[in-house]
Structure 1
Amino acid sequence: MSHTAHIPSHRKPRRNASKTALRAGVAGGVLSTIAVAGAAGPAQAEPVTQTIEMPTITSGLSTAVAASAQATQQVAQDLQTQAQEDAAAATAAKAAKKAKAEAVRKAEAKKKAEAAAKAKAEAAERASRSTARTTLSATSGSTAGTAASTSSASSSSSSSSATGSAAAIVAFAQAQVGDAYVPGGTGPNSWDCSGLVQAAFRSINVDLPRVSQSQSTVGTQVSLSNLQPGDILYWGSAGSAYHVGIYVGNGQFVGAQNSSTGVVQRPLSYDPPSGAVRVL
């Protein structure tokens, strides 16, 4: 046995190469850091000056301002348009009001003119009949009293000269003498001319047209020299007559003349008719 067999070796064990390299690298890095820090330590750091450019907003602001200006202009235009429309509406309303007032004025003037013309026509009719009565009285001369007596007798006997249906018509017409004349009146206490004639014939169940124009063409045309009680007298032309009455005999007729006289019985000479028709 060798005398050195139990003596441990003083040689250091071999290290792994990769570990050695790693340690060397770390140490080198540490040393480098220390060296840099040492070199930079004593020196004073200079202040750093840097210019930062802010983003420009000029273009966006211009767009916003332009949009605002456009909106303001549009509002102004809208207000101007509305003002013009309001002014036009006010002008139209004023014109319409003026036109309506003018139409009302003209209507009232026309109504007054018609009323005046009607009054004038009635006055002329009364004057004409008054003249006729005056002329008749003058031509009678000294026989006026006798004529009055004859007229009275004729009036009282006129009903007796009619018979049958004609007598009923005459009686109905004479019963209305003194009633009022009203345009469009059909009784029982106020009449117009054709309304009275129609009612008289209706009393014997004979239906006649309502207006004088049509009544002047019913039945048969007869001569004024051949009248009979119950005949219809008309003034104007047949088919366009403006007035009608009923012949009651003995040269007398009954008619609703006008608003001044009402329903009267008068001699034919009071208002000579234009023609006559016979229905019965």
Structure 2
Amino acid sequence: MSHTAHIPSHRKPRRSASKLAVRAGVAGGVLSTLAMAGTASASPSAEPVAETTLEMPVLNLDLGADVSSALTVAAENTRLAAVEGELTAQEESARTGAAAEAKQAKEEAQKKADAEKAEKTAKAEAERKAEAERSSRSSGSERTTLKSTAAPQGSGTVSAPATGSAAAIVNFARAQVGKAYVMGGTGPSSFDCSGLVQAAYRQAGISLPRMSQAQSSAGTSVSLSALQPGDILYWGSKGSAYHVAIYVGGGKFVGAQNPSTGIVERNLSYDKPTGAVRVL
């Protein structure tokens, strides 16, 4: 091996021909450009080149503010939608509640009307039955007339004629036959049952209570088989009688019966009384 083989060479490496050609072309182009520029500047007759400036629109956008505004609007719209929805729900609830209250009020009013109607119907029925009962005592065909004299024991008649105070009572009562029956009437053109008895006894100077209940217990109880003219007949319980009349003798009584018959004279057998009292 040679003693100089390890010493590196000091020669520059050769450049390749292609790289030299490229460098030469670039340099030539640059020099050509500079020459043309110099020529242009050296010619005084050349007109200046007009320069045109293009103005670009300036965008002055504040994107942060726009985004914030958009979010605020969206939030407000959402809030308004929620409020509107809540109001709609409240209105619907109010309508539903009002409808329920109206329905309940209507049902209660109907129940009240039905109750009042039923009460009126029951009252009218009771009055009708009472009137029918009163009419049944005073209407229809006459039953067998009891004999006025020599009546058998237990027939409820007496043979003695009315005299004195009894005659005044009987005569007054018979004089009212044919007059009208009016509830609460005390004369002179109309009477109810107790009003007639009270007025008849006034003719004898005797003051009686106004109501039939009190009149039925005003005197001494007597048997229907031992009646005398002027005795007070009553129907119902003593002390709570619902009807009174005057025994006029001959097995008959005079009484203000009801609005359909007025004051009449009837046989005892037609509507037998419950009991009798004697005041004279």
The TM-score, its normalising length taken from structure 2, stands at 0.61
1:72 to 57, 65, 84: 84
Aligned residues: 218
For 1:199 and 1:63, how far apart are their aligned partners in 2? 97
Indicate yes or no: 2:126 matched with 1:114.
yes
The C-alpha deviation readout for 1:218-259, integer Å capped at 9, x for no partner, is 122223344333221112321232321112234432111234
For 2:198 and 2:232, how far apart are their aligned partners in 1? 10
Larger helix percent: 1
Partner of residue 195, structure 1: 195
Aligned 8 A contact 1:159 1:171 in 2: no
Q: Which runs of 5+ in 2 are unaligned?
A: 1-54, 151-158
For 1:50 and 1:118, how far apart are their aligned partners in 2? 107
Partner of residue 166, structure 2: 166
Partner of residue 57, structure 1: 69
Q: Secondary structure at the match of 1:277?
A: strand
Matches within 5 A, 1:123-134: 124-125=136-137, 130=141, 133=143
Aligned 8 A contact 2:161 2:249 in 1: no
Aligned 8 A contact 2:245 2:254 in 1: yes
Partner of residue 86, structure 1: 98
Partner of residue 11, structure 1: none
Shift, 1:106, TM fit: 2.7
The C-alpha deviation readout for 1:29-51, integer Å capped at 9, x for no partner, is xxxxxxxxxxxxxxxxxx99897
Partner of residue 24, structure 1: none
Indicate yes or no: 2:271 matched with 1:271.
yes
Matches within 5 A, 1:137-152: none
The TM-score, its normalising length taken from structure 1, stands at 0.61
Identify the structure with bigger relative contact order (alpha carbons < 8 Å, sequence gap 6+): 2
The C-alpha deviation readout for 1:44-87, integer Å capped at 9, x for no partner, is xxx99897644232443343223212321222122112211331
For 1:119 and 1:233, how far apart are their aligned partners in 2? 20
Q: Secondary structure at the match of 1:95?
A: helix
Matches within 5 A, 1:127-276: 130=141, 133=143, 136=144, 161-163=162-164, 165-276=165-276
Describe the shift of the 1:149–1:264 C-alpha distance in structure 2 as closer, same or farther (beyond 3 A): farther
Q: Which runs of 5+ in 1 are unaligned?
A: 1-46, 141-146, 151-157
Q: Secondary structure at the match of 1:269?
A: coil
Identity of aligned residues (%): 47
CA RMSD of aligned residues (A): 3.8
Aligned 8 A contact 2:138 2:261 in 1: no
